[in-house]
Structure 1
Amino acid sequence: MGSTAPWRQLLSKSLDSNSSLRHATYFQLATVRPDGRPANRTVVFRGFMEGTNKLQVTTDSRTHKVEEIRHCPYGEVCWYFTDSWEQFRIQGKLDIIDETDTEPMRLLMRERAWFASSPRSRLQFLGPQPALPVLHTEAETKHSLDPSAGPVGTFCLLTLDPEQVDYLDLKNNQRIVFKLFTQSNGIHEWMQEEVNP
């Protein structure tokens, strides 16, 4: 999908008008656990995958969210902008790009996401296994990374390919739902409808 979706203009405006707030780039990502229960966490928006409407997030391959996405590849983002009182709920299909990927273009996107992350963020991928009990040892392991080295094995790029976007503007009492439809000729088209808030 090469064309920009109509909801992107609203999202860009919201990001711009809330750019002074550090938390404006954080959103909640909900997935489904293998037992069918919901799982939710806050993640950092890492931009759109080049030439697409796919949202990017980075994560550790050892986290529960990766297991959940492998079990059920659908998720939803909930993004609230506190200054402009706007909410975006974005549903779609999640995709994991890890070190085992065989497509050169996808590996390049993963590498770009790695180098776009701060050195401090990159170090987290060398830490202990997420969600396991902390082992208190006398000698804490200090990790270091060569700033020019590519992504470590635990680094994953996640993308969310939107299929529906529910936009709510609480200041103006407006709600618009955008849905992606596939026409009989295979062309994807976004339809939008204003609904009651």
Structure 2
Amino acid sequence: MSASFSHRPPWRSLLEQALKDRRDRPESRYFQLATIRSNGKPANRSVVFRGFLDSTHQLQIVTDNRSDKIHQLHHSPWAEICWYFSLTRQQFRISAQTTCIDENTDNSFLLSKRSQVWQQLSDATRQQFTWPACGTNRDKNGFPGTYPNPETPLPNFVLVLFQPIEVDLVDLQESPPQRIHYQLQPDGDWSERSLNP
């Protein structure tokens, strides 16, 4: 099949439908995120999906700037998301360039989005940003019982944006499975190719 092109990527509608179909299941809130360590080895973890940035196709998560993933994204801004939906039996693999929005970001629009996401978090989630640095030796006295200001993000709070560049969708409901590869083109269109699974 030859490649076809569109400005609104078909993968976005398919992902939104999968999220809607599974909105009351944990799989609609968590995806796996792979990054690259400074030694070239992969790192993977589950993260909480915080929606899309306004009307863009950029996915959002939040994290602590003391976490390994932030160091890895500063080393290499490329990441891959893997998201599997059991009801629809669809797997989305999203290769993306990342942007980390922290207190030093020199963009008022992105800083306002960082604050907006902070304000939408639960008290318990915001409290996690007062804990000791990720990956350090555990100190049971290092976990304060107070909640931070719900209006103003703590300095270590980071909003991470993922700009999809390639999306590989495998639909396992069909036999043989259907696999479609979407790629962002320089002009903003998305190419679409049907591949062998």
TM over 0.5: yes
Instruction: State the partner residue of 1:154.
Output: 156
Given the alignment, which residue of 114, 117, 139 partners 2:118?
114
Q: Do the aligned partners of residues 81 and 140 (structure 1) sit closer, same or farther apart at CA in structure 2, a change above 3 Å counting? A: closer
Structure 2 residue matching 1:168: 3-state secondary structure? strand
Instruction: State the partner residue of 2:3.
Output: none
Residue deviations 1:89-116, cap 9 Å, x none? Answer: 0001011000011110010110111112
Q: What is the RMSD of the two structures over their aligned residues, measured on CA atoms?
A: 1.4
CA distance in 2: counterparts of 1:163 and 1:144, whole angstroms: 38
What one-letter code is carried by the residue in structure 2 that aligns with 1:170?
Answer: L
Q: Where does 1:78-97 land on structure 2 (aligned, <5 Å)?
A: 78-97=82-101
CA distance in 1: counterparts of 2:145 and 2:184, whole angstroms: 47
Instruction: State the partner residue of 1:141.
Output: 144
Unaligned residue ranges in structure 2 (runs of 5+): 1-6
Unaligned residue ranges in structure 1 (runs of 5+): none
CA distance in 2: counterparts of 1:106 and 1:43, whole angstroms: 21
Contact 1:110–1:156, Cα closer than 8 Å, also in 2: yes
Instruction: State the partner residue of 2:106.
Output: 102
Contact 1:4–1:52, Cα closer than 8 Å, also in 2: no
CA distance in 2: counterparts of 1:107 and 1:190, whole angstroms: 29
Given the alignment, which residue of 129, 135, 140 partners 1:131?
135
Query: Taking structure 1 as the reference length, what is the TM-score of the superposition?
Result: 0.91
Instruction: Tell me how many residue pairs correspond in the alignment.
Output: 189
Residue deviations 1:91-145, cap 9 Å, x none? Answer: 01011000011110010110111112111111100111111111244x8632222
Contact 2:96–2:165, Cα closer than 8 Å, also in 1: yes
Instruction: State the partner residue of 2:4.
Output: none
What one-letter code is carried by the residue in structure 1 that aligns with 2:124?
Answer: R
CA drift at 1:146: 3.2
Q: RCO greater where, 1 or 2, for CA within 8 Å and sep 6 or more?
A: 2
Instruction: State the partner residue of 1:16.
Output: 20
Instruction: State the partner residue of 1:60.
Output: 64
Residue deviations 1:56-96, cap 9 Å, x none? Answer: 00000100000000000001000001121110000010110
CA distance in 1: counterparts of 2:179 and 2:76, whole angstroms: 28
Query: Taking structure 2 as the reference length, what is the TM-score of the superposition?
Result: 0.91
Q: Do the aligned partners of residues 167 and 142 (structure 1) sit closer, same or farther apart at CA in structure 2, a change above 3 Å counting? A: same
